Amino acid sequence: MKKSDSFYGYSLILAFFMLFLAARSQLITDFYKTSCPNLMAIVRREVQNAIKIEMRMAASLLRLHFHDCFVNGCDASILLDVSDGEKFAGPNLNSVRGFDVVDNIKTSVESACPDVVSCADIVAIAARDSVLLSGGPTWKVLLGRRDALVANQSGANTGLPSPFDNLGNITLKFANVGLNLKDVVSLSGGHTIGLSRCLLFSNRLFNFTGTGTPDSTLDTIMLSDLQKICPVNGDANKTTFLDRNSNDLFDNNYFQNLLNGKGLLSSDQILFSSDEAKTTTQSLVQSYSTNSDLFFADFANSMIKMGSISPLTGSSGQIRKNCRVVNS
Ligand code: HEM
Ligand SMILES: *[C@@H]1O[C@H](CO)[C@@H](O)[C@H](O)[C@H]1NC(C)=O
Ligand SMILES: *[C@@H]1O[C@H](CO)[C@@H](O)[C@H](O)[C@H]1NC(C)=O
Ligand SMILES: *[C@@H]1O[C@H](CO)[C@@H](O)[C@H](O)[C@H]1NC(C)=O
Ligand SMILES: *[C@@H]1O[C@H](CO)[C@@H](O)[C@H](O)[C@H]1NC(C)=O
């Protein structure tokens, strides 16, 4: 055998090995079909119970999955109770919610199928169920994620989009985890449910970027409403609806709001009103505002993409027994 033949032989073996690795690292919908056949029903029931107590929990569980996936991938790293944890990073502290609900789901799942189902997969299923139970689309959740051994606080501080970012910054943060402009717009539609605190948009209300006047892209009636809810030196923790028309309902009103200057966060309104939007996101906002089916279909697709960011699979990571701590 010539040297070049053996080179090609090894290359072929290497290629097959890499294909095998790629296939193995792929998430699949049937991952727990035999190991935990009732998983879907258990999570659905627990999410239903949680939102019966507090409807906002649907929004909180959706956001929890987003904030998990953007930092080191969808690996439940956000759930870890460590002092340098992600839950204490700026975008998460006193902001991200739902940890107790995830604990309850995990307890029920563990009693049915111990040591089998990851916390990362539970969060992904809970996010899907939250959207569906709020009137939104559904999709088949890909499964087989494993749980991280570490959290990444600095990753959370730098990787998560801020409501004060411009569209270029937001687009870049999405691109850094493999998501495109369409994902930016469709996933921002998640703000069709849930609340935001005053401190995250009050900069728009009185003296926007040092102009001495409010953000001119904000509808004037909504502006005077918000000025009452969030007065200067008022309670920065006070909350109001991200989608004022239909706060608890997952629908495309969020996009209609943007056409009417009624986006709550600057990062919402710039998808339609900024100069950058004219050549990037504006037309898609317009399409979603008139075509709810298109929004639902794109949102579901983008959620599957977001849910597939850098999962730990195979023998990486672990199946945590308690979602808050790494197994001893
Ligand atoms: C595009 C960049 C994004 C920015 C700048 C952003 C920013 C924010 C901010 C500032 C809040 C309020 C937090 C607080 O009051 O403490 C919020 C809430 C929320 N976000 Fe986003 N977000 C973005 C994308 C997303 C995505 C991709 C999703 C999910 C698909 C999402 C889902 C939510 C939900 C559901 C809430 C309400 C949570 C609750 O009421 O507990 N957001 N977001
Ligand atoms: C934390 O996240 C940053 C930014 O994504 C990344 O460069 C770094 O490797 C991560 N660190 C750990 C320990 O995962
Ligand atoms: C955010 O945008 C500003 C202004 O365009 C720019 O100076 C800054 O570097 C951007 N930051 C990131 C992280 O892209
Ligand atoms: C608005 O903010 C700028 C910069 O912080 C400041 O110089 C200006 O005096 C403020 N204007 C008003 C009306 O408060
Ligand atoms: C907002 O709430 C957090 C948590 O309860 C608290 O630590 C913080 O001091 C509050 N901030 C303001 C401005 O009231």
- What single string gives the DSSP state of each residue in 202-250? GGGTSSGGGSSS--TTS-HHHHHHHHHHS-TTS-TT-EEESSSSSTTS-
pLDDT tens digit sequence for 223-233: 999 999 999 99
Which residue has the CA at smallest separation from atom 11 of ligand 5? 237
Q: Candidates 169, 173, 174: which one to mutate for ligand 3, based on the most atoms within 8 Å of Cβ?
A: 169
What's the full length of the chain, in residues? 328
Residue range 133-156: mean pLDDT, rounded: 98
- Phi, psi angles (nearest 5°) of residue 294: -65, -45
CATH T-level topology, domain 167-305:
Peroxidase; domain 2 (1.10.420)
Instruction: Report CA Rg, the chain.
Output: 21
Residue nearest to atom 1 of ligand 5 (CA): 237
Q: Which of 286, 284, 216, 295 is nearest to 251 (CA)?
A: 295
In this prediction, what percent of the chain has a pLDDT beyond 90? Answer: 91
CA 239 from chain centre, in angstroms, equals: 20
Q: In 3-state terms, what secondary structure has residue 162?
A: coil
**Residue whose CA is at the smallest distance from ligand 4 atom 7:** 210
Q: Cα(58)–Cα(61) distance, rounded to whole angstroms?
A: 5
Indicate if the alpha-carbon torsion angle 157, 160, 162, 167 is positive or negative.
positive
pLDDT score of 26: 87
Which amino acid is residue 63, in one-letter code?
R
C-alpha 169 – ligand 3 centre gap (Å): 6
pLDDT at residue 2, rounded to an integer:
46
C-alpha 106 to ligand 2 mean position (Å): 27
**pLDDT tens-digit map of 207-258:** 999 999 999 999 999 999 999 999 999 999 999 999 998 999 999 999 999 9
Give the residue numbers marked as catalytic: 67
Distance of CA 104 to the CA centre of its chain: 20
pLDDT value at 10 more than 80: no
| pLDDT value of residue 105 | 98
Residue range(s) occupied by CATH 1.10.420.10 in the chain:
167-305
- Is the separation of the CB atoms in 223 and 264 below 8 Å? no
Residue 317, ligand 2, Cβ within 6 A: no
Largest CA distance in the chain: 83
Q: What is the pLDDT of residues 265-290, one digit of tens each?
A: 999 999 999 999 999 999 999 999 99
pLDDT value at residue 135: 98
Q: Which CATH architecture has domain 8-20+29-160?
A: Orthogonal Bundle (1.10)
Residue 176's identity, in one-letter code, is: N
- In this prediction, residues 153-171 reach a mean pLDDT of 98
- In order of 64, 117, 187, 218, the CA distances from 60 in angstroms are 6, 21, 14, 25
Say how far apart CA 10 and CA 20 lie, in whole Å: 15
Please, what is the average pLDDT of the chain? 94
C-alpha distance from residue 285 to each of 78, 195, 221, 276, 293 (Å): 30, 21, 22, 13, 13
**Candidate from 10-19, 131-140, 289-298, 309-318 with smallest mean pLDDT:** 10-19
Confidence of residue 11 (pLDDT cuts 50, 70, 90): low
Q: Tens digit of pLDDT for each residue in 76-89?
A: 999 999 999 999 99
User: For 57-77, how does the pLDDT look when each residue is reduced to its tens digit (9 = 90+)?
Assistant: 999 999 999 999 999 999 999
Report the pLDDT value the prediction gives residue 35, as an integer from 0 to 100: 98
pLDDT band of residue 25 (cuts 50, 70, 90) is low
- Distance from the CA of 233 to the center of ligand 1, in angstroms? 24
The answer to whether the annotation marks 191 as part of a ligand binding site is yes
- Residue 192 labeled ligand binder: yes
Write down the residue that tokens 């001495």 correspond to: 212
User: Boundaries of CATH 1.10.520.10 in the chain?
Assistant: 8-20+29-160
Check whether 231 is labelled as a binding-site residue: no
